[in-house]
């Protein structure tokens, strides 16, 4: 008789609403660094809509969303890290503005992906 470890519990699936909320928080940080804070009052509603749309999307769309969300999180984190590590003491405003615009566009793309593939 062999001894095997019991199967590990299945890890919960991705939480697309949480992923988008985290990306929104990164966007807020970058906007602060750029000196361009905007209101993001719809963030909780957006997370709920994203989660619902994700749940009803086809599996191929879900995988595409996950890939885009993960890719966005990676480059956003790298961008924020680069901004914060700038040797001048203060990050480049122009670089922060550009990163904020790219992050905002990526978030819109993630939403559009789920909206158009329902």
pLDDT in tens, 28-45: 989 988 888 776 666 667
7 found inside a domain: no
Q: Is residue 9 part of a domain?
A: no
Does the model's pTM come out above 0.85?
A: no
Which domain covers residue 78, as residue numbers? 16-34+42-116
Is pLDDT of 99 > 90? Answer: yes
The answer to whether position 107 is within a domain reads yes
Q: Among 43, 48, 53, which Cα is nearest to 17's?
A: 48
Q: How far apart are CA 98 and CA 62, in angstroms?
A: 28
Residues in the chain, how many? 118
Does 23 reside within a domain? yes
CA distance 82 to 92: 10
Domains contained in the chain, number:
1
- At residue 11, the pLDDT reads 44
Q: Give the pLDDT confidence score for residue 42 in this predicted structure.
A: 67
Establish if 51 belongs to a structural domain: yes
């Amino acid at each position: 008789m062999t001894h095997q470890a019991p199967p590990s519990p299945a890890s919960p699936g991705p939480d697309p609403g949480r992923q988008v909320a985290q990306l929104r928080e990164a966007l807020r940080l970058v906007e602060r660094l750029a000196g361009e804070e905007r209101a993001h009052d719809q963030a909780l509603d957006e997370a709920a809509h994203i989660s619902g749309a994700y749940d009803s999307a086809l599996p191929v769309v879900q995988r595409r969303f996950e890939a885009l969300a993960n890719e966005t999180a990676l480059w956003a984190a790298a961008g924020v890290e680069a901004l914060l590590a700038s040797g001048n003491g203060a990050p480049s405003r122009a670089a922060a503005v550009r990163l904020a615009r790219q992050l905002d566009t990526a978030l819109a793309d993630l939403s559009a992906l789920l909206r158009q593939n329902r």
